Amino acid sequence: MIRTRTAGAKGILVGLAVAAFAAGGAMAAMPIAVAPVQARLTPVGDATSKAGHFSGVLVRGAAPMQSTPVTPAPRNPTRWRLSWKVSLPQLGRPAAVTLQVAARGSASAVVRVLCSTCSASAKGALTLTNSQATRVLSGDAVVMVRAPGPTLRGVVRVKGSSS
């Protein structure tokens, strides 16, 4: 006996195909990589013995599609998002906290202000390019805390990395 597909079966197959395509598109927008990072913020010089801590998570994912005109040289749509938190000792006055990414090859150095009037703790998020994120992950970035008195500094490393 030969069976033929009915209209209902075709509808189910088409529905499954559309659902699989939509799920694939959603999966493409999901984060591709996640890396926890941290830095122990120690005093520069002998100004103080107080230390602080920086922690964050770098997440790589596709940037949302924008309705801007297409340019002759499209930019790479992949972006990294750094969600961060900084815990500072009592410094007496608010401090400025920056992320400094060193220059490497043809990529220039970058300084990003995390917070300009931090007190005991602060948190936030920022977007990094592929080049900047790669340099952060390879240990070519530092967090600097500048207060009217002490200055704290720490090299950003992948959490669990001892190098």
Exposure b/e, 116-151, CB count within 10 A at least 16 = b: eebeeebeeeeebbebbbbbbbeebbbbbbebeebb
User: Is the overall model pTM greater than 0.75, yes or no?
Assistant: no
Q: Has residue 162 got a pLDDT over 70?
A: no
Position with higher pLDDT, 137 vs 4: 137
- Write the DSSP assignment of 45-114 as a string of letters: TTS----EEEEEEEEEEEPPP--PPPPSSPPP-EEEEEEEEEE----SS-EEEEEEEPPBTTBPPEEEEE
> What are the boundaries of each domain within the chain?
31-63+77-158
Residues in the chain, overall count: 163
| pLDDT tier for residue 122 given thresholds of 50, 70 and 90 | very high
Least confident of 39-48, 52-61, 100-109, 124-133: 39-48
Alpha-carbon distance of 73 to 1, in angstroms, equals 58
Looking at residue 26, its pLDDT comes to 46
pLDDT at residue 18, as a whole number: 45
Residue/partner pairs of 99-103 with CB below 8 Å, 24 or more apart? 99/126, 99/136, 99/141, 99/142, 99/143, 99/156, 100/141, 100/142, 100/143, 100/144, 101/128, 101/132, 101/135, 101/136, 101/140, 101/141, 102/135, 102/140, 102/141, 102/142
